[in-house]
Structure 1
Amino acid sequence: MDLGKDNIVRLIFHHSVPATVGMLVNAVYNLADRISISYAVGPEAFSSMSVASAVFLVLQAFGMWIGIGAASLIAIKMGERRRQRVEELIGGTLVTLAATSAIVFLGVSAFLDDVLYFFGASGSTIPYGREYLTVIARGLPFMITGTGLYHINRVIGYPAEAMLFTAVSALLNVLLDFVFLFPFGMGIGGAALATVISQFVLLLCMLRLLSKKAREYGVSLKNLRLRRRDALDIYMAGLSTFFTQVVSSLIAAAANNQLLRYENYFAVGAYGAINITYSVVLMPVFGIGQGSQPIIGYNYGAKLYARARETLYKSMFLAFIIGIGGWLLFHLRATEVMSVITNGDGRIVPYAADGLEKLTLLFPLAAVQAVGQVYFQSIGKPKKTLLLSVLRQTVFLIPMLYVLPKFWGTDGVWYAIPVAEFLSLLCTGSFIAVENYRMKKNLG
């Protein structure tokens, strides 16, 4: 499909559906582990996943950081018709992913218990978290590299194939979860092993797709080298994504510790159930943001600025519609959804159902905010996206998690997110209005 000429809504769906499925697959790794663990091991192990999953997201964020950063640069170079630069960026990204995964592996292995306590582990939950993350750490090179290559394959014209391979990996993860946890009785370590194996399969599939000969862009040995300038550009372009993911985990750490302070580790488990449910429903919104990225980037690179703005507006509208659907689910079926995820545990479900309704109070606005923030990354201005991420997560949300509970107790933890989302949307809307005014006035 021609990014500069074809119908914009069709293009958004063409790129967003595979991106959405790919992101849902990433959420499925967490969701399948949690549901299986809640049924096969017990509430303590389930609560430990609120901590372990926050760490897991940080580890996964390294692959997203490099992959999405490279994808945004590649989309712009594609719009400029610079094939050689595209292939140089692909080769440099592969080397960057490999080097980064090795460094992250060493860091996690050295400080595992310290990391778990920081993210809200307690004496009852840390043995489970340690067992899970010890296995996950051994598969870090597979996870980081495979995640990064998924975003490269998606942007250079193979979103459907990338989606198919990630779906296969997810189904394998679910199947292995069942086998390792139930017939084999391997406990929480079995769930982690299932994830590592499925991530290894995903990496093999992404490498196979990238090495196909009959494709417009590819990778060659001469481009498999680390160019300092390219590496810095990739890291900078994807920094807002990495920051968002990491601070999301820091937010989980703050929430976990506050819930331990005001309630108990069952409330921590409830937050984990809410967080994964919130994330899964928000994945189609993130998919729209990622799907619109190559369209906006291509048209911006081709100086079709009005078309880039139109893509943004239509993407935000689609995100709002999804947000309405999510809000209805959260507020009409909160108890039922939380019961499925937690095996109906009476010590967790009351916290989870109540918290889900309060935490998602402004979910449609959160959906619009998520897509709007990606716009600046798509047009090659990642510093503005990073600034918006900083405002939302560190200036607004984290302080709210400590201030609001002083007045409302546990409810303050739940209400911190909708308050932060509202303030963030005001900032994002203002940034977009100023940027579009500048473009219309100076660039047409």
Structure 2
Amino acid sequence: MDRAQLLGEEKIGKLLLKFSIPAIVGMIVNALYNIVDRIFIGNFVDSLGLAGVTIAFPIMIIIMAFGMLVGIGGTSLISIRLGEGKKEEAELILGNAMVLLVIFSASISILGLVFLDPLLKLFGASPQVLPYSREYLSIILFGAVFQTIGFGMNNFIRAEGNPRRAMSTMLIGAILNTILDPIFIIVFNMGIKGAALATIISQAVSAAWVLSYFFRNKSSLEVKKENWKLNLSTVKGILAIGSAPFAMQVAASGITTLLNHSLKTYGGDLAISAYGAINSFSTILLMPIFGINQGSQPIIGFNYGAKKYDRVKKALMLAIMAATSFTIIGFIVTRLFPAQLVALFNSKDKELISIGANGMKIFFTMLPIIGFQIVSSNYFQATGKPKQSMLLSLSRQVLMLIPAILILPRFFGLNGVWMAGPTADFFSFLLTSTFIILELKRLQTMHDESQV
């Protein structure tokens, strides 16, 4: 069964599993880098070390944003050119994308290291936390090229139809990081530096694994030196397509910075440390939903284009149900074991555990409805409606969250900071519900008309 027949005729549930599971595994594995670092730093350095990594996180998000800018943009163009049978043009895009990843990562490293202290202060580092953030991020920035190449070019492996290889690339790095963290932090007593070294070594191995795929003729695409010369129209195409996810990542970095400042104002460094633990669980809980998005997108998009609207509706509903199942389970776990979950990051600091457990209960209040909101936003992207998708995504992450962060703490103090997220989630849920109800009615009408 060829890809078109598969997407248009295979059972939706089976398709969703086949496409989503590798994506879910890949997304969770990619998130584990920072989370594993936080667990070991919180337990074997101290709470300020955990705050230091949390402060550095917005800069790490920006590094990933550039990987997404080139990776997602290049992947889309490569897939289109391969579908058109234009292999040479696909190879030109691959070569240009590789060069762009190196240029962007080198620029980030240089600028980040030159302006390291001012940046960390801008992102909310107090005098007590600054030395920890500096130690950690100075090493991470040296390895930025490994992160962007490993993450960015991994998309190209998936683009030519090898999702298992793409998944194994991320698995190798995450497993190695989990092994190296205790060796460097505990055995060699390197503290927060050890965590950073473990991360960049693991990312370097992942990058090497990705590059070996293309340079050892395992890929259907050939890496040619002549394609390393940047072509203006190719570069524009890559950056244009990758700009939307790039903008979302940069916005996420800005929101995290704003949140860090608010936490520092109303709760001090321990509140930032607590947010580091809460944010880690938020990441783990949301990664399966993003994986479901990746898996459902080609199914929804293909069947929408083929005017099989009943299959589009079924794929959307199954994706929403799957995502909601994950968020309900997460909601129950965070309600039953908040203190134990925070204690994974530091079992000795009772004040940190108390602040984090209270914050976790409030922060995840609206968790059950988040799956619906994220999957529904992705539906509009999959069906060629990027404006609606962007509006709904921004409503949760920016448009409603920023006012909530600025207003609620003035009335409720630190609890107001924790309330900002669920408040934005609730109102974006209402907005998304309105859009999706109207869209489902339109789908039904188009389905009925197609049956006449």
Q: What TM-score does the superposition give when structure 1 sets the normalisation length? A: 0.91
User: What's the offset of the Cα at 1:37?
Assistant: 0.8
Aligned residue number for residue 290 of structure 1: 294
Which segment is superposed worse, 125-134 or 431-440? 431-440
Among 11, 16, 30, the alignment partner of 1:26 is: 30
Q: Distance in 2 between matches of 1:236 and 1:377?
A: 15
Map 1:278-427; keep pairs closer than 5 Å.
278-299=282-303, 307-427=311-431
CA contact (8 A) 1:338 1:344 kept: no
Q: Distance in 1 between matches of 2:229 and 2:15?
A: 33
Question: C-alpha displacement at 1:122, in angstroms?
Answer: 0.3
> Greater CA deviation, 9-18 or 89-98?
89-98
Partner of 2:123: 119
Indicate the residue corresponding to 1:140 in structure 2. Answer: 144
8 Å contact 2:213–2:219 — kept in the other structure? no
In the TM superposition, structure 1's runs of 4+ consecutive aligned residues that sit over 6 Å from their partners are 436-440
Offset at residue 84 of structure 1 (A)? 5.4
For residue 129 of structure 1, what is the aligned residue in structure 2?
A: 133
Deviates more, 1:179-188 or 1:54-63: 54-63
The alpha-carbon deviation at position 86 of structure 1 amounts to: 4.3
Distance 2:21 2:178 in 1: 21
C-alpha contact (below 8 Å) 2:374/2:393 kept by paired residues: no
Decide which of 209, 213, 232 is 1:209's aligned counterpart: 213
Structure 2 counterpart of 1:3: 7
Instruction: Give CA deviations for 1:274-297 in whole Å, capped at 9, x if unaligned.
Output: 011111121111111122233344
Q: Deviations over 1:18-45 (max 9, x none)?
A: 2112211221111111111112211111
2:257 maps to a residue whose letter is A
Q: Which amino acid aligns with 1:353?
A: A
Moved more, 59-68 or 83-92: 83-92
Deviates more, 1:63-72 or 1:114-123: 63-72
Matched residue, 2:174: 170
How far residue 418 of structure 1 moved from its aligned partner, in angstroms, is 1.1
CA distance in 2, matches of 1:208, 1:434: 48
Q: Distance in 1 between matches of 2:419 and 2:372?
A: 19
Greater C-alpha Rg: 2
Residue deviations 1:351-382 (CA, integer Å, cap 9, x gap): 11111111111112112222222234434544
Q: Which moved more, 1:200-209 or 1:71-80?
A: 71-80
Equivalent of residue 187 in structure 1, options 162, 187, 191: 191
1:177-220 residue CA offsets vs partner (Å, 9 max, x unmatched): 11111111111111111111111111111122344646555554
Query: Does the Cα contact within 8 Å between 2:338 and 2:361 map onto a contact in 1?
Result: yes
Q: 2:200 aligned with 1:196, yes or no?
A: yes
The match for 1:230 is: 234
Asked if the contact 2:71–2:97 (Cα under 8 Å) also holds between the matched residues in 1, the reply is yes
Q: 1:40 aligns with which of 28, 41, 44?
A: 44
Is 1:51 paired with 2:55? yes
Preserved contact between residue 360 and residue 418 of structure 1 (Cα < 8 Å):
yes
CA contact (8 A) 1:79 1:302 kept: no
Partner of 1:255: 259
| 1:375 partner letter | Y
| CA RMSD, 1 decimal | 2.7
Assess if the C-alpha contact under 8 Å between 1:334 and 1:353 holds in 2. Answer: yes
Q: Which amino acid is 1:378 matched to?
A: A
Unaligned runs of 5+ in 1: none
Whole-angstrom CA distance in 1 between matches of 2:308 and 2:93: 24
- Aligned positions, number: 444
Q: Deviations over 1:381-437 (max 9, x none)?
A: 444433333332232101101101111111111111111112223333444556666
Structure 2 Cα separation of the partners of residues 225 and 435 of structure 1? 45
Counterpart of 1:147 in structure 2: which amino acid? F
1:97 deviates by 1.9
Q: Which moved more, 1:211-220 or 1:8-17?
A: 211-220
1:308-332, Cα deviation, whole Å (9 max, x unpaired): 5543332222111111111111111
Q: TM-score if structure 2 supplies the norm length?
A: 0.89
Match of 1:245 in 2: 249
Q: Percent identity?
A: 38
Distance 1:280 1:332, change over 3 A: same
SS of equivalent to 1:288:
helix
SS in 1 for 2:100: helix
